[in-house]
């Protein structure tokens, strides 16, 4: 009988682990950049300045004065040109156009960062079977993200002066989903020296961190509705809203569903409550981590999560009090994504699941152990070696 392991059980060679980890790190950075640029584009009201979607030819901006005049004329046809950008000049139009153009170029770059290495590693057979479906989803989701982005823009070109808050939040949610897959896999592929220190956290810790990551994701999505409804421009005070805990006009829409997602006062109130709850839970987890049966690797991840979430809350309050200036608004969105990343890393490390590193030339004594699974849960430390008997 052959002693070769099946492809689903083969440990990941070190060179492949390093290559995949570098690719995923570059992909994570690319998503952060896209989210930051997208936030600035939204805050500067630049997202509707390009009224058509040309995935290939749209790479080139207008190159002549006639082309600029044509683009400006097309922009003047949409409702936003008569409301938010009423009286805009050619100079002002070029400013918002360049921001949206740069946003779309960054989005195309993110797609290439995901797609080209994936294609190369698939052809070379360097992606193990256990990761193929997950990693193949990444370039496919980036294509879907581009299509969803245009679907979002379309909502603000005809009858509205801004894009749909639902579509904006869906666009943000898909970006967070792409980030989650990349971050989770990146953490699973951590180096050999980190694998040796990894341990499976107790059941209650694993589920607490999963709940924390989920709640953070919901909080970020609620921020999407705040952004889509321009709710950050109202009730610029803290901790009260209009002198009350529950703001005036909170339940002004008849339908509870519409009120929750279309009423700016309700959207901001929900986002505030979620942010405060997230911070309280993150601090509680960080406090408990110092006394819990966790490995140093997991403890540090929980401490980092608590620190980032606290910074995010303080930054959010400051951004609100100053009526959402563009630099602070973009930074608030960036640190929100950073907080979710910290939660995902802490949750993944607590799971204890890693991709083991295969030795390039196993010795004969270890040949019988080549069937070790590629992904393993390191929950039990190795037993100490027994001393040889005295003669």
Nearest to 107 by CA among 178, 167, 22: 178
Q: In the Cβ-directed half-sphere of 202, how many Cα atoms lie within 13 Å?
A: 9
Q: What is the pTM of this model?
A: 0.86
Task: Report the range of poorest mean pLDDT among 95-104, 170-179, 244-253, 370-379.
Answer: 370-379
Instruction: Give the integer Cα–Cα distance in Å for 208 and 350.
Output: 10
Instruction: For residue 150, give the 3-state DSSP assignment.
Output: helix
Q: What pLDDT band is residue 389 in, cutting at 50, 70 and 90?
A: very low
The chain-wide mean pLDDT, for the chain, equals 87
The per-residue pLDDT for 365 is 38
**Is residue 361's pLDDT more than 60?**
no
Instruction: Label residue 13 exposed, middle or buried (CB < 10 Å: 0-12, 13-18, 19+).
Output: middle
Distances (CA, A) of 72 to 5, 87, 160, 321: 63, 12, 18, 35
**Is residue 364's pLDDT more than 60?**
no
Q: What pLDDT band is residue 155 in, cutting at 50, 70 and 90?
A: very high
Cα pseudo-dihedral 152, 263, 215, 338, rounded to 10: 50
Residues 54-69 pLDDT 10s: 888 788 999 999 999 9
Q: What pLDDT band is residue 1 in, cutting at 50, 70 and 90?
A: very low
Task: Report the range of poorest mean pLDDT among 47-56, 108-117, 376-385.
Answer: 376-385
Phi/psi at 376 (5° precision): -135, 150
The length of the chain, given as a count of residues: 391
Residues 312-322 pLDDT 10s: 999 999 999 99
Residues 273-291 pLDDT 10s: 999 999 999 999 999 998 8
Residue 308: count of CB within 10 angstroms of its CB: 20
Contact 141, 174 (CB under 8 A): yes
Residues 197-255 pLDDT 10s: 556 889 999 999 999 999 999 999 999 999 999 999 999 999 999 999 999 999 888 78
- pLDDT above 90 covers a percentage of the chain that reads 74
Q: Which residues of 137-160 are buried (b: 16+ CB within 10 A; e: fewer)?
A: bbbebbeebbebbeebbebbbeee
The per-residue pLDDT for 368 is 39
Instruction: Give the integer Cα–Cα distance in Å for 348 and 338.
Output: 15
Say if strands 353-355 and 375-377 run parallel, antiparallel, or are unpaired: antiparallel
């Amino acid at each position: 009988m052959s002693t070769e392991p099946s492809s689903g059980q083969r440990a990941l060679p070190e060179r492949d682990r390093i290559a995949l980890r570098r690719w995923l790190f570059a992909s994570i950075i690319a998503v952060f950049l896209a989210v930051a640029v997208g936030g600035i584009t939204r805050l500067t009201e630049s997202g509707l300045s390009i009224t058509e979607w040309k995935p290939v030819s749209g790479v080139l901006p207008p190159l002549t004065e006639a082309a600029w005049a044509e683009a400006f004329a097309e922009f003047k046809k949409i409702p936003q040109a008569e409301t938010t950008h009423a009286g805009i000049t050619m100079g002002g139009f070029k400013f918002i156009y360049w921001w949206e153009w740069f946003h779309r170029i960054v989005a195309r770059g993110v797609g290439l960062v995901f797609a080209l290495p994936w294609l190369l590693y698939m052809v070379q057979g360097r992606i193990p079977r256990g990761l193929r479906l997950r990693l193949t989803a990444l370039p496919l989701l980036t294509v879907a993200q581009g299509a969803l982005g245009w679907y979002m823009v379309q909502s603000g070109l005809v009858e509205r002066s801004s894009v749909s808050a639902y579509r904006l939040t869906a666009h943000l949610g898909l970006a967070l989903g792409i980030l989650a897959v990349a971050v989770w896999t990146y953490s699973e592929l951590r180096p050999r020296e980190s694998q040796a220190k990894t341990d499976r956290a107790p059941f209650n810790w694993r589920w607490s961190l999963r709940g924390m990551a989920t709640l953070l994701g919901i909080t970020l999505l609620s921020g999407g509705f705040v952004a889509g409804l321009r709710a950050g421009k109202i009730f610029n005070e803290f901790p009260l809203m209009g002198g009350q805990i529950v703001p005036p006009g909170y339940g002004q829409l008849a339908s509870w569903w519409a009120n929750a997602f279309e009423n700016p006062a309700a959207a901001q109130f929900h986002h505030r409550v979620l942010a405060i709850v997230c911070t309280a839970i993150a601090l509680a987890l960080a406090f408990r981590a110092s006394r819990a049966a966790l490995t140093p690797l997991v403890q540090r991840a929980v401490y980092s999560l608590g620190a980032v979430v606290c910074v995010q809350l303080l930054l959010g309050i400051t951004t609100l009090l100053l009526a959402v200036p563009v630099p602070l608004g973009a930074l608030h969105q960036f640190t929100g994504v950073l907080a979710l990343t910290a939660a995902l890393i802490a949750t993944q490390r607590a799971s204890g699941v890693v991709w083991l590193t295969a030795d390039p030339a196993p010795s004969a004594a270890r040949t019988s152990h080549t069937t070790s699974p590629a992904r393993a849960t390191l929950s039990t430390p190795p037993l100490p070696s027994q001393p040889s008997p005295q003669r």
